[in-house]
Amino acid sequence: MEPRNHSDDHPAAIRPKPGGRRVPAPLREFGALLSGLAAPRGKGAPAAWTLWMTLAVILLPLVLVVLHRWDAPIVRGAMTSDLWLMEVARLVTSAVKAVYWLALSVVVWVLTCFVLRGADGAPWRRRIARLHDFATFLILSILVAGIPVEIGKRTAGRARPALMDEYGSLHLEPFHGGHAFESFPSGHSMMTGILLVALWIFLPRWRGLVLPAALLMLLGRLAAGMHYPTDVVAGFAIGIVAAAWIARFMAGRGVIFRPVSGRGLPSLAARPPRGAGGA
């Protein structure tokens, strides 16, 4: 299935009129993206939702129930450990805060829209276009994965490990709303799952480092005393499933990705030579 040049098939409502004002590049690209995502799935393209995603959703609660019995001892050990690996994990764990990545991705997305608008023929254009694609994918994945994570945090109201001595490891106060009662699921772990999928697709040569880095980030949530293992596993699973679903959904419509037969994740599609999102 040939990838669409979304900058050329954006909705007529935002096409620049002859003699009229030129449509800002971000607005034009946003319309093109919406048009691409709203298109029907390409003929022969696999469904976005897969059997392994269904199994993950079904098995996750069972895994959490079994894992919970070790929540307290694992997090206590991680919090009190003075191993160098734990110290490093504590230092780097804040790097995967979802709101920071969302803000950064939006800024990068807007800036690359303007840069690509006037960069036809530039030797660095393809790399900027891929950066634009990367930001697009992160924005969509964070927005989608953030829905179940935020709902879970509000409705569960689980006390964080810092309150374990006072409340125990499974104290719930639904709709409490305070940061101290938003342990489940972990938003940082969700972001780690999203980044794992994104980097796995966009930087295949670095896969050998991506997975260990992700595990270090997850370990940091325990070492910092911010989450229990069940919080981390739940958030990580949500991030992976949401990002994989978004990638497959986009691939089925020729947006950034293309399906690969027999593989759970798509690969990057060849970019068209022109347009705000092309390369």
**Strand 257-258 vs strand 267-268: parallel, antiparallel, or unpaired?**
antiparallel
The string of pLDDT tens digits covering residues 110-131 is 999 999 987 777 788 899 999 9
What pLDDT, on the 0 to 100 scale, is given for residue 1? 52
Domain contains 130? yes
**Within a domain: 276:** no
pLDDT tens across the length of the chain (279 residues): 555 545 444 333 344 445 557 788 999 999 999 999 999 999 989 999 999 999 999 999 999 999 999 999 999 999 999 999 999 999 999 999 999 999 999 999 999 999 998 777 778 889 999 999 999 999 999 999 999 999 999 999 999 999 999 999 999 999 988 999 999 999 999 999 999 999 999 999 999 999 999 999 999 999 999 999 999 999 999 999 999 999 999 999 999 999 998 889 999 998 655 444 443
Is position 15 within any domain? no
Q: What separation in angstroms does the CA of 35 have from each of 7, 12, 25, 113, 248?
A: 10, 10, 15, 16, 17
Across the chain, mean pLDDT equals: 90
pLDDT at position 20: 53
How many CB atoms within 10 Å of residue 251? Answer: 27
Which domain does 249 fall in, by range?
45-268
Question: Which tokens in the block code for residue 61?
Answer: 């609660």
Domain contains 64: yes
**pLDDT tens digit sequence for 51-102:** 999 999 999 999 999 999 999 999 999 999 999 999 999 999 999 999 999 9
Look at residue 163 and tell me if it is in a domain.
yes
**CB distance 247 to 265 below 8 Å:** yes
**Domains in the chain: how many in total?**
1
CATH number, residue 216: 1.20.144
Residue 31 located in a structural domain: no
How far apart (Å, rounded) are the C-alpha atoms in residues 109 and 75? 37
Query: Does the pTM exceed 0.75?
Result: yes
